[in-house]
């Protein structure tokens, strides 16, 4: 045992027992705490206990089982700050970067305290070196006082009768939200809890989500992350949070509680509140890379504990890192202990934090065995076999920046996917791009071409048009070009091909015709999502016209630019009402959320009725020639509510109303004829995007013309 500060008084002797190798991390059992950390490369490991004055007590860990170093301290209770020092080789040519001058955070830490000070102390190379990649001899400046510390947490929590809603995909409506951005400006939430887990669980937020018929909230990263040195120097912050270093810890800055480990209990309280309302909690998780970055990044935890085990190193030059993510490194999911960390983290969030699923950022990276994305990779094998993780919602962002990284439709059967093809097609259709009708038909009906071959159902398609990454809905219809100057990268960052359309003027305008068109386009997109087969996802604030003023890459904008501006709820009350009507329509009618794909059987085949029919503006069934004709921007779709083959959860036949969906992406009004009486004798409109709130009292007999306004959509229900 030794002290970091020799001038400090000698501490009372600390009792140390051998403890156990598992579970990894710091585990309080009511009497004491077991500490455990994996490092294959280590020659010695010290457990460092940190007091309130940043004084350090170092305890040599003598017990090692299978490269797991462990000790049990019977006197250590929740709130205790700690870290590790790993003594071992520094040989960058062999990918070894042990540096005992760095107080290393626990990879299994469940809470972290403090902040990072990006001085020389955080780096294991000389910041002034001519060639930092060579490594050289580490400056050996102690990082204590310049880094965060891990915190022992209390695992005990009164969950009461909490249970997961377990909403099936076909009944799910996802709402993507940012913990801070969602509530930071909300006037009805007490100021002291805005931007926090407690703020997100406030009744006004839950009531808002329920009014939108939302069944699941998908939270942007809440795993503990850091703010990059580069961003801080620019006066910016890592707002999105895709820079994780603590995979078992809720991000401490999102906690209203000022207790050292208060964020853990606050997060659990939030989950419990959502569950009471019947809303699932899905986490956006970042297991593809860590916050340590490339070889020029700080030494925070993984790099100093076992660099070659945790990271994919560059073949032929182990000083450098493989980068499939654009962030400097890629987590080495081929290593058993790294895989174990990912799986242990996922299980922890399900079993201990009660979350209901995960959206995996750049999920293709996790599947990379060598250079390709392998559907049979170890990670997928483990997920498939795991009795806990296989039972929750698993959503992939099915692309990364590596070769062959775009993998929409190629994930295994358990998985659903953000459908990038749905996003692109709906954007293209409503801005009037030619030759999109066939693709549009495929996306509207659940993308069977992508998912059916793997045994998946329409729910596997997460249908979205906007998300955190890109323009919000109001900007999608207001800007042709990105305007990211505020990010400090000379507008080079972010996607340049957005498939957006400004409706005639770039940015804000007072022109009433353009304003009306923009609002109609927003309603078109929302309505399209709600009548599409699959699982729809709304991006937070789209329902009230949130804008980022043309910035399509708000990752570093922790400011009113990216926060939901709740003052828009007044001026855009019509849009909010429309969104509520559209989501209610989907919720009330199972024909829009079928469990199985359409069969497209003939209109008359014995007693069998067709489940879907595609009609031209003349009311006739479309021929192959029609699909390529000039009126391809205008189409009518018949959905047969009496031809839903899948039974409900109790085995009963599902019978619904039949609907006629009329789409017109033309600039001008198009006359659409309702089909003959074999489909219905009479149709009553239930949603009209030409109206600010979707209201309509239109009733049309079979065979009659409807004047379908340019750039609009009409939903008709069979009423006779």
3-state secondary structure at position 309: helix
Q: Which residue, among 545, 397, 546, 374, has the nearest Cα to 462 in the 3D structure? A: 397
Q: Six-digit token pair at 688?
A: 């009209």
| Residues annotated as part of the active site | 361, 397
Element (H, E) at 422: helix 420-430
Cα distance between residue 102 and residue 481, in whole Å: 45
Residue 660 phi, psi dihedral angles, 5° rounding:
-120, 120
User: 518-557: b or e for each residue (b if 16 or more CB lie within 10 Å)?
Assistant: bbbbbbbbbbbbbbbbbbbbbbbbbbbbbbbebbbbbbbb
The DSSP code sequence of 207-255 is HHHHHTT--EEEES--EEE---HHHHHTT----S---EEEEEEE-GGG-
Cα distance between residue 323 and residue 597, in whole Å: 38
For residue 688, give every residue at least 6 positions away whose Cβ sits within 8 Å of its Cβ, in sequence order, or none. Answer: 694, 695, 696, 698, 712, 713, 714, 715
Cα distance between residue 488 and residue 498, in whole Å: 20
| Count of CB atoms situated within 10 Å of the CB of 25 | 23
Q: Using an 8 Å Cβ cutoff, are 363 and 330 in contact?
A: no
Q: Packing angle between helix 512-531 and helix 420-430, nearest 10 degrees?
A: 140
Residues 513, 516, 520, 523, Cα dihedral to 10°: 160
The DSSP code sequence of 658-682 is -EEEEEE-SSS-EEEEPP-TTT-SE
Q: CA Rg, the chain, in Å?
A: 28
DSSP one-letter code for 411? S
Q: Using an 8 Å Cβ cutoff, are 255 and 196 in contact?
A: yes
Length of the chain in terms of residues written: 720
- CA triple 671-674-680, angle to 5 deg: 170
Cα distance between residue 85 and residue 141, in whole Å: 13
Q: Six-digit token pair at 329?
A: 């490194």
Could you identify the residue written with the tokens 């980068």? 323
Q: Six-digit token pair at 403?
A: 């070769």
Q: Using an 8 Å Cβ cutoff, are 383 and 307 in contact?
A: no
For residue 188, give every residue at least 6 positions away whose Cβ sits within 8 Å of its Cβ, in sequence order, or none. Answer: 202, 204
- Say if strands 280-285 and 216-219 run parallel, antiparallel, or are unpaired: parallel
| Count of CB atoms situated within 10 Å of the CB of 43 | 11
């Amino acid at each position: 045992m030794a002290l970091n500060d020799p001038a400090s008084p000698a501490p009372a002797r600390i009792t140390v027992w051998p403890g156990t190798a598992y579970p990894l991390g710091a585990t309080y059992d009511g009497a004491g705490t077991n500490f455990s950390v994996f490092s294959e490369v280590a020659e010695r490991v010290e457990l460092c206990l940190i007091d309130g004055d940043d004084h350090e007590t170092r305890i040599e860990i003598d017990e090692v089982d299978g490269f797991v170093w462990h000790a049990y301290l019977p006197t250590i209770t929740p709130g205790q700050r700690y870290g590790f020092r790993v003594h071992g080789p520094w040989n960058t040519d062999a990918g070894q970067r042990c540096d005992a001058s760095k107080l290393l955070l626990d990879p299994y830490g469940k809470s972290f305290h403090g902040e990072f000070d990006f001085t020389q102390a955080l780096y294991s190379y000389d910041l002034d070196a001519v060639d930092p990649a060579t490594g050289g001899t580490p400056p050996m400046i102690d990082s204590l006082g310049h880094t965060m510390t891990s915190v022992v947490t209390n695992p005990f929590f009164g969950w009461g009768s909490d249970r997961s809603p377990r909403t099936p995909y076909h009944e799910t409506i996802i709402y993507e939200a940012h913990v801070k951005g969602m509530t930071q400006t909300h006037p009805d939430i007490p100021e002291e809890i805005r931007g926090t887990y407690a703020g997100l669980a406030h009744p006004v937020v839950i009531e808002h989500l329920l009014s939108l018929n939302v069944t699941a909230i998908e939270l942007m990263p809440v795993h503990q992350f850091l703010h990059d040195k580069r961003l801080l120097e620019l006066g910016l912050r890592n707002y999105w949070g895709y820079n994780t270093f603590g995979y078992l810890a809720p991000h401490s800055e999102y906690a209203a509680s000022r207790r050292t480990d208060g964020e853990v209990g606050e997060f659990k309280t939030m989950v419990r509140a959502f569950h009471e309302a019947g809303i699932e909690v899905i986490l956006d998780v970042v297991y593809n890379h860590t916050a340590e970055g490339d070889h020029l990044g700080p030494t925070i935890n993984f790099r100093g504990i076992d660099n070659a085990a945790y990271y994919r190193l560059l073949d032929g030059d182990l000083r450098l890192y493989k980068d499939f993510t654009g962030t400097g490194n890629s987590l080495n999911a081929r290593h058993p202990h790294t895989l174990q960390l990912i799986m242990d983290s996922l299980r922890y969030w399900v079993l201990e934090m009660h979350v209901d699923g995960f959206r995996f950022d750049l999920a293709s990276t996790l599947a990379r065995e060598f250079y390709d994305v392998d559907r049979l990779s170890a990670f997928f094998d483990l997920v498939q076999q795991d009795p806990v993780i296989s039972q929750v919602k698993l959503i992939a962002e099915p692309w990364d920046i590596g070769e062959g990284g775009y993998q929409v439709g190629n994930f295994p059967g358990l998985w659903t996917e953000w459908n990038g093809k749905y996003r692109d097609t709906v954007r293209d259709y409503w801005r009037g791009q030619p030759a999109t009708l066939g693709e549009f038909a495929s996306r509207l009906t659940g993308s069977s071409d992508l998912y059916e071959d793997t045994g998946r159902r329409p729910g596997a398609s997460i249908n979205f048009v906007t998300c955190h990454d890109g323009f919000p809905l109001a900007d999608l219809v207001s800007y042709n070009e990105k305007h990211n100057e505020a990010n400090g990268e000379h507008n080079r960052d972010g996607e340049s091909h957005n498939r957006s359309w400004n409706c005639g003027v770039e940015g804000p305008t007072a022109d009433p015709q353009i304003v009306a068109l923009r609002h109609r386009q927003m309603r078109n997109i929302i309505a399209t999502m709600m009548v599409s087969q699959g699982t729809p996802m709304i991006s937070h604030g789209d329902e009230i016209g949130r804008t980022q003023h043309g910035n399509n890459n708000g990752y570093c904008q922790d400011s009113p630019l990216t926060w939901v501006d709740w003052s828009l709820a007044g001026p855009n009350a019509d849009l909010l009402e429309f969104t509520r009507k559209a989501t209610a329509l989907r919720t009330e009618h199972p024909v829009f959320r079928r469990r199985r794909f359409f069969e497209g059987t003939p209109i008359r085949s014995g007693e069998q009725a067709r489940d879907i029919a595609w009609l031209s503006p003349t009311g006739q069934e479309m021929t192959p020639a029609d699909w390529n004709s000039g009126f391809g921007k205008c189409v009518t779709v018949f959905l047969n509510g009496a031809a839903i083959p899948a039974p409900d959860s109790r085995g009963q036949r599902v019978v619904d109303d039949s609907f006629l969906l009329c789409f017109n992406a033309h600039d001008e009004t198009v006359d659409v004829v309702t089909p003959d009486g074999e489909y219905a004798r009479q149709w009553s409109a239930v949603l009209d995007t030409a109206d600010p709130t979707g209201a309509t009292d239109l009733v049309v007999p079979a065979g009659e013309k409807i004047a379908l306004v340019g750039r609009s959509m009409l939903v008709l229900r069979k009423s006779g």
